[in-house]
Amino acid sequence: MIWQLGGKCHRSDFHREFIYAGGFPGCCGKTGDWELKSKMTDFSADSAVVVRPATREDLPQLAGLVDYFVEENRLLPRTSDELEDLIPFGFVAIAAGQIVGFAALEIYSSKLAEIRSLAVMPLFQGKGVGRKLVEQCVELAVSRSVLEVMAITSNDGFFKSCGFDFTLPGEKKALFVQTRQQY
């Protein structure tokens, strides 16, 4: 048994989960009106996880999930409009009625799409949730006849385990130039 969806509370010596009073994950020591939930649930790493297409009703929880990973410097910030644009091509992982993971496919053309905003709550990492989200994105790309799917990541080992590789067809390489200091 653990507290509901969230992250590690830095004010305790043990791992406690908590949620924002409005349904967003966060920490009681960070900005905002954070509230520890006293109700224990059966929500645990062993909870059954279901991956399904994202819906507009998921936006409040998705915003909280993304904000959590932005604060951890694991994702780039996303505006509400950007998240809403990802919904039609996004997938959520649900456990005990809470969103514990998200990924979206951004289709650029019939030749290229990108996996965007892949995030899985720490309690569910290493349990196949991220892989299921990536598989759904790749299946969507296949169904739309997209030739290649790319991922820009700091965890290349994970994506390699999902079948991704560094090389493009014909030994091409993707190169980038940064046009400003911050996102």
Q: How many CB atoms lie within 10 A of CB 144?
A: 12
With b meaning 16 or more CB within 10 Å and e meaning fewer, what string describes 6-37?
bbebeeeeeebbbbbeeebbbbbeeeeebebb
Whether the pLDDT of residue 4 is over 80: the answer is no
- Determine the topology of domain 42-170 in CATH: Aminopeptidase (3.40.630)
Per-residue pLDDT for 98 more than 90?
Answer: yes
Quote the pLDDT of residue 3: 26
**Mean pLDDT confidence for 88-102:** 95
Question: CA torsion, points 89, 93, 98, 104, in degrees to nearest 10?
Answer: -30
Cα–Cα distance, 111 to 82 (Å, whole number) = 22
pLDDT given for residue 21 in this prediction: 33
pLDDT digit string, tens, across residues 122-159: 999 999 999 999 999 999 999 999 999 999 888 888 99
Query: What pLDDT is recorded for position 82?
Result: 93
pLDDT given at position 30 = 39
Averaged pLDDT for residues 67-77: 90
Enumerate the domain spans of the chain. 42-170
Predicted TM-score (pTM) above 0.85: no
Per-residue DSSP letters for the chain?
Answer: -B-SSS---TTSSS----EETTS-B--TTSSS-EE-----BS-STTS-EEEEE--GGGHHHHHHHHHHHHHTTSS----HHHHHHHGGGEEEEEETTEEEEEEEEEE-SSSEEEEEEEEE-GGGTTTTHHHHHHHHHHHHHHHTT-SEEEE--S-HHHHHHTT--SPPGGG--------SS--
**Which residue from 135, 123, 119, 132 is spatially nearest to 46, judged by alpha carbons?**
123
Per-residue pLDDT tens over the stretch 8-58: 333 222 233 333 333 434 433 333 333 323 222 445 556 689 999 999 999
